[in-house]
Amino acid sequence: MSNKKSNYRKDAKSISVEVKEADELLAFLLKVMSNRSRNSVKSILARGQVTVDDHIEKQFNYNLKPGQRVTILKNKAAVKQDVLIGMKILYEDEHIIVINKEAGLLSIATESEKQQTALHQLMKYVKREDPDNRIFVVHRLDKDTSGVMMFAKSEQVKRKLQDNWNQTVKERIYVALVEGKVSKREGYITSWLRETKTHLMYSSQTPNDGLFAKTRYRVIQGNNEFSLLEVSLETGRKNQIRVHMQDLGHPVVGDKKYGSKKRNAIGRLGLHARTLTFLHPVTNKQISFKADIPASFLNKSK
């Protein structure tokens, strides 16, 4: 393997390598980290310390393609304590923290995963300064959705944000990579959303049969296979964009739960929270944060 700058980057916290030929992820990592045992490399994968392009990847047999970039975060015990896996802090003050979350990272704990979450990591991060510091969830992103996410540093700020969410948040813009060519360049979708006993959301056109949901979209770019849409939420319902893209006849890439029938071309869900604009809960000044559109979304929709 060549160590030219064009395909191999190394710093104090990570190793980043460009894929030159098709390979399975574990086999590729064993070559890159030839000084480590197979079990050690498998553990690094299982802990979520490996990203492919713009998402965390834990599958040993994930198929790599030439041109992708694999980044390996060094063993957590060997790096500075301020390393946050699967996220980047965009903004922080004494009241809030705004992050760019990668696809594959849970927002909060589940029964099967307690520690590898955005909340748990940020809690440890703020407690280093003061053991009494805490972090509070304001809103969530699905595990497989990337992008801008905000947390509060006090119960009071959390309540103020949540109680006045519709007035506080001025803009929530997502980008969605969807299947097929969307012929209508822009439009909006409305329905009433309901949830089944198995937690699946679905649309109803019967007035007041569920929670009203409205989604606006416009086509950024596309081809015959994929379209990249800018999606604005006028209401914030559970799985709203995913259900409405299914209603549009163009399900989100990789979204088997809501209508995707094709092979997942990007190895993740094609949904990214690009922009969050809101009034600061204390200063009342309007601030806005953006997370770049994932490269895989742009490449597939050219």
Which residues have a catalytic role annotated? 142
Widest pairwise Cα distance in the chain: 63
User: Measured between alpha carbons, how far is 183 from 275 in angstroms, rounded to an integer?
Assistant: 25
Helix ranges (DSSP H) in the chain: 25-32, 38-46, 118-127, 155-163, 165-168, 240-248, 295-300
Within a 10 A sphere around the Cβ of 301, how many other Cβ atoms? Answer: 23
Torsion sign across C-alpha atoms 46, 51, 56, 59 = negative
Q: Which amino acid is at 80?
A: K
Question: What is the 8-class DSSP label of residue 158?
Answer: H
> What is the DSSP code string of 228-283?
EEEEEESS--TTHHHHHHHHHT-PBTT-GGGT--S--SSSS-SEEEEEEEEE-TTT
CB contact set of 73 (below 8 Å; sequence gap of 6+): 13, 14, 49, 50, 51, 79, 83, 85
Q: Residue-wise over 25-63: b if at least 16 C-beta within 10 A, else e?
A: bbebbbebbeeeeeeebbebbebbbbbbbbbbbbeeebe
CB contact set of 124 (below 8 Å; sequence gap of 6+): none
